[in-house]
Structure 1
Amino acid sequence: MTTGRRIVLLDLFGVIARHQRPGALEKMAARCRVSVAAFTTAYWTCRPSYDAGRQSASAYWRDVLRALSRPVDADTVEELRLTDIDSWSRVDDRMVTYVRSLRGRAETALLSNIPADHADAFLAAQPWLHDLDHIAFSGKIQAAKPDPAAFLHCVIALRAAPADFLFVDDREENVRAAQAVGMNGHVFTGQDGLAPVIDAWLPTG
């Protein structure tokens, strides 16, 4: 059931923002004096609680260093934290322009898996985010995709029905999770494929 509203709910990384900066994991691995493979495993294995706001940045990085059997000190933790934030800081300017162009045709919102300290940095660097109708960062709402709670947070926050949403993400598992709670979904492969989908979904006239 829909209320007749049209809300385009967008993922951030891989849709509006770019994926992690090439070479970032190698740089952090070198700082820890471990192999890239070992660092990458520890980095992602420890990540879910940090993304979902159940763990602080310092606690996350301590866990990563311990998993790598490396010394834990405040300077190393802070250097890794800042390098990590920078590695996820790039946006696709063409997509930013497109999302802003949707204003007036639809409500626009964001749902991203991103730790709380990353979210603060992104909000400070990207003022256009404040023009969206709602922003949901996993580290702030304590729920990360594909957990249904992340999608339901947006439904409740916008006082809408799930069917009012078109959710756009570059990961199919997240789109399927959105569809499971009643949202419409689109797997993002590029702006050229997204625009006609949104045009067809929005009412004409």
Structure 2
Amino acid sequence: MTTGRRIAMFDLFGVIARHQRPGALVDMAAECHAPLDAFTEAYWALRPPYDAGRQSAARYWGAVLRRLSRPVGPGTTERLRLADIDSWSRVDDRMVGYVRSLRGRAEVALLSNIPADHADVFGAVQPWLRDLDYVALSGKIKVAKPDPAAFRHCVTAMRAAPADFLFVDDREENVRSARAVGMTGHVFAGLDELETAVDAWLATGTASPEPGS
């Protein structure tokens, strides 16, 4: 059941912000003198607790280095932390403009997986985040997508109903989780398609069909 509100809620990376900078993992692997394949596996396999705010940056990077059998030292972990933050720092200016423009027609929220220390830096250099009605960052709310609790957190925090939301993400598993808690979901594939889906949702409460559905 809806309360009659319209809340467009967006993922960050892969939607409004760019994916990780090309070559970043190569540079970080070289920093700790590790093979790229082994570094990449450790980087992603150990990431969930860090994203969800259950682990500090120092503990995360220490775990990565130990998995790679590399020395753990504060200088190395800090260089890796800063390189990692920089690698996720780019935004799509067209998407930022579009999201801000929606506030004349709907409430606008953000739900993103991002470690707490990344979130502090990103928020400081992206003032447009302060224009949004609600921002939920996994490292701060202590739960990450696709855990349904991340979506329920936003519903509760905004004092809304799940059916009030259109959630936009580039990852199908996150959209499925949003739909499972009662939100409308849209898999992001580009701005033109998104505009059509949002217009349909604002008019009818249902996003336009996904490609191939």
Task: After superposition, give the CA deviation of every residue in 1:66-100 in whole Å (9 maximum; x if it has no partner).
Answer: 00000000000000000000000000000000001
Segments of 5+ residues of structure 2 without an aligned counterpart are 205-213
Match of 1:68 in 2: 68
Deviation at 1:203? 3.5
Match of 2:135 in 1: 135
Segments of 5+ residues of structure 1 without an aligned counterpart are none
Alignment partners' CA distance in 1, 2:52 and 2:40? 19
Match of 2:104 in 1: 104
TM-score of the aligned structures, taking structure 2 as reference length: 0.95
Match of 1:25 in 2: 25
Alignment partners' CA distance in 2, 1:89 and 1:173? 24
Alignment partners' CA distance in 1, 2:203 and 2:124? 34
Alignment partners' CA distance in 2, 1:153 and 1:70? 38
Match of 1:4 in 2: 4
TM-score of the aligned structures, taking structure 1 as reference length: 0.98
Match of 1:150 in 2: 150
Please list, as runs of the form range in 1=range in 2, the aligned pairs for 1:78-89 lying within 5 A after superposition: 78-89=78-89
Residue type of the partner of 1:160?
A
Deviation at 1:104? 1.4
Moved over 2 A (4+): none
Please list, as runs of the form range in 1=range in 2, the aligned pairs for 1:38-53 lying within 5 A after superposition: 38-53=38-53
Match of 1:163 in 2: 163
What secondary structure does 2:103 align onto? coil
Task: After superposition, give the CA deviation of every residue in 1:37-69 in whole Å (9 maximum; x if it has no partner).
Answer: 000001001100000000000000000000000
Alignment partners' CA distance in 2, 1:197 and 1:26? 37
Deviation at 1:2? 0.2
